[in-house]
Structure 1
Amino acid sequence: MAQDSAGTPSPARRTTIRDVAAAAGVSIATVSRILGGTYPSSPATRSRVMRAVHDLDYVVNAHARALSGATSKSIAIVLNSVVSPYYAHVAQGVQTEAAQRDRLCLIGTTGGSAERELATVRLMRQESADAVILVGNVIADDSYRSRMAEYAHALAASGSRLVLCGRPPLGPDVPAVVVEFDNTGGAHAVTSHLLSAGHRRILYVGHRPGYSTSEGRITGYRDALAAFGVPHDPALELDTASLARADGYRVMKRYLAGSTDFTAVFGANDQIAAGVRQALVEKGLRVPDDVSLVGYDDLPPAEDLGLTTVHVPHEELGRTAVRLALERESDDPAEPGHVVLGTHIVVRDSVRRI
């Protein structure tokens, strides 16, 4: 309890944002933006504000509901699309684990837009979600990373947690849980499977420059070629606008109109591989008799096509993301969890030894 000038106890006055601003030597607007995760402040400014928040106990008072245990009972999941099997299976894992822990799921889709993702995270924070889980690809430039780091700090300050699911960390000082799978290792393994079967001209279909998942997979492909002493040929790497089946088909059909100088194709995911297979069949080429084919993810339609692919534990990714967010072993937001789940090849009938 506070005391008046005569030393007589008086009712404690609730700390306001004005007090925080005065203590940090910044404007009220700056404090509001930093706590809201909407201000790309310098580390020194953010540090002063967060120190004032801590010293004045502003977080406890302003976010008493979150820190007293009266949570919103919700988990927010932010993903590119609900149509893609990849995102759908991860979301199912989040939903399953959240339901077991008496949480509802809030779902936001971004269409792959970094700006839309940032706006959705900001909205989910306003909804006081217990955790905000970001799933899959995004083009992460410096501006994006800076702003998302601010959101991570703002979520941590309010008793919530940012979770990066299937994507790399934002940096060593960002309080975000990270749940990844061995993306590059899986691509290396399935490319090595083709190389071990004698293939040297391996077409890679589905590169999306700048996207974290895509960059990880093509790195694994290139590393495997180097390990087998196969020269890197950029002409064998085909970009696509998306990872949808239609794009795999369109890009492969265009390539086949000019060249067939390859013996195997690595589709960046199973959907791309399915589109590639359709283009090959229309060209009169058989899988695997004429061309070997592999994919990535082990999701429909991989099993139906007899496709050799890389199995990703999609539902476990989602479940682990929820577990780590809600079972924080440390109250220190600077020490979040980081888990890397394994991948493995599922061998079916789409690769022929030459």
Structure 2
Amino acid sequence: MPRRPEADRDSTTPRAATIRDVASRAGVSVATVSRVLTGNYPVASATRTKVLRAVRELDYVVNAHARALAGNRSKMIAVLLSNLTSPFYNRVASGVEQQAMAEDRLCMVSTTGGDPEREVKLVETLREQNVDAVVLVGGVVDSPEYRDHMARLARLLDSAGSRLVICGRPSPGENLPVTVVEYDNAGGAFAATSHLLSQGHRRILFIGGDEANTTTRDRLDGYRRAIQAYGIEADPALVIVGNQLPPFAYAELKKRLAAGPPDFTAVFAWDDHIAARTLVALRESGVSVPDQVSVIGYNDEQEAQDLYPALTTVSIPHMELGREAVRLALHRDEAAAPNQHVVLGTHIVMRDSVRPLINR
């Protein structure tokens, strides 16, 4: 069917204003309007006022896709999570979204499924979209290949005027154009283990986590350093790692308890979800918490205070991690060095799942 002449089209549908319409209304050139809207070049105050007034009167909306194609920023922050079900990821992402909104940016969330290759491909795609920053959240299996990939992506994003932000994991290397926002993961584990040791516990079981993962690696480091600081010989049999999912820890603990009475007086769980399943496994095996075995978790999830007994745990500044990631990425020009590295503190939240060991 031939196209209808312009005059025959539905006249009730208003035509969207164009940048030429704005220029005509303001009495300036199209280039001047573009400079005002992008903020790339200085424009006289009176001229800027005329252009912005014309924008409001015509209800002109900037075509963000066209701006991206032209090489301008998309005013978008992308955050990549391993999954959407973990409260840890959700709370950090909420911090990213809050600060993105405060900085007049949109926030886009995508998931990697824990697949390093998918993570790399997503970052490459986002670079083409001219996003202001790409925020990677959570631990990762560290390897030379991973570091090489991240170093390359950091440089590619930087060359495009964007920024790679590593949130909640170590930096992929030194002297890279990357923003790193961590929490004191190993320090929190050191504090948790030291707290149990100060209560008289000497046989402390560490359970959960994949030892190849950076999060597990740091927590084990803190756990082992605390035991060494107390002059206690470490027992490899008191470390159960291999998987960071609660069913793994539950099954391993049930198997251990089925073999005989607990050969430990306290448990340091990799996170609060594993701590929750630890409480179940101990209860089902007739072991009282904290009368016979104390339990401490990590993350301070919402449900930690609702468990029975209420869980003593390590608190992470989830929201501040996300907010700081966006703040630093968008204001990196204010920093003296091309790389930014911030470590936020952790602290123990005392509840009811830890008790002093009576027979010291």
Pick aligned residue for 1:192 from 172, 191, 194: 194
1:102 deviation in Å? 1.7
Question: How many residues in Structure 1 have an aligned counterpart in Structure 2?
Answer: 289
Pick aligned residue for 1:312 from 308, 311, 316: 316
Q: Distance in 2 between matches of 1:141 and 1:299?
A: 29
Name the amino acid aligned to 2:115: S
Residue pair 1:76, 1:132 contacting (<8 A) in 2 also: yes
Q: Distance in 2 between matches of 1:140 and 1:301?
A: 30
Give the TM-score normalised by the residue count of structure 1. 0.78
Q: Distance in 1 between matches of 2:242 and 2:88?
A: 17
Identity of matched residues, %: 52
Once the two structures are superposed, the pairs formed by residues 199-348 of structure 1 within 5 Å of their partners are: 199-242=201-244, 244-259=245-260, 260-305=262-307, 306-330=310-334, 335-348=338-351
Aligned partner of residue 163 in structure 1, secondary structure: strand
1:290 deviation in Å? 1.1
Q: Distance in 1 between matches of 2:289 and 2:71?
A: 57
Residue pair 1:207, 1:237 contacting (<8 A) in 2 also: no
Q: Distance in 2 between matches of 1:84 and 1:240?
A: 19
- Cα distance change on mapping 1:299 and 1:120 into 2, 3 Å: same
Counterpart of 1:48 in structure 2 is none
Q: Distance in 1 between matches of 2:335 and 2:340?
A: 12
1:147 deviation in Å? 1.4
Residue pair 2:165, 2:178 contacting (<8 A) in 1 also: yes
Residue pair 2:75, 2:104 contacting (<8 A) in 1 also: yes
Q: Distance in 2 between matches of 1:240 and 1:304?
A: 27
Show CA shifts across 1:296-347 (max 9, x none): 0111321112111100000100000000011113488x62221110001111
1:251 deviation in Å? 2.2
Q: Distance in 2 between matches of 1:99 and 1:251?
A: 44
Name the amino acid aligned to 1:160: S
1:108 deviation in Å? 1.7
Name the amino acid aligned to 1:353: P
Q: Distance in 1 between matches of 2:160 and 2:131?
A: 10
Counterpart of 1:21 in structure 2 is none
Give the TM-score normalised by the residue count of structure 2. 0.77
Q: Distance in 2 between matches of 1:129 and 1:256?
A: 51
- Give the root-mean-square deviation of aligned CA atoms: 1.9
Show CA shifts across 1:163-208 (max 9, x none): 0001111111211000001000000001000000000000000131
1:236 deviation in Å? 0.6
Q: Distance in 1 between matches of 2:214 and 2:231?
A: 26
Counterpart of 1:128 in structure 2 is 130
Once the two structures are superposed, the pairs formed by residues 30-45 of structure 1 within 5 Å of their partners are: none
Q: Distance in 2 between matches of 1:271 and 1:224?
A: 23
Residue pair 1:153, 1:175 contacting (<8 A) in 2 also: yes
Name the amino acid aligned to 1:122: E
Counterpart of 1:46 in structure 2 is none
Residue pair 1:134, 1:164 contacting (<8 A) in 2 also: yes
- Cα distance change on mapping 1:222 and 1:285 into 2, 3 Å: same
* Long gaps (5+) in structure 2: 1-65
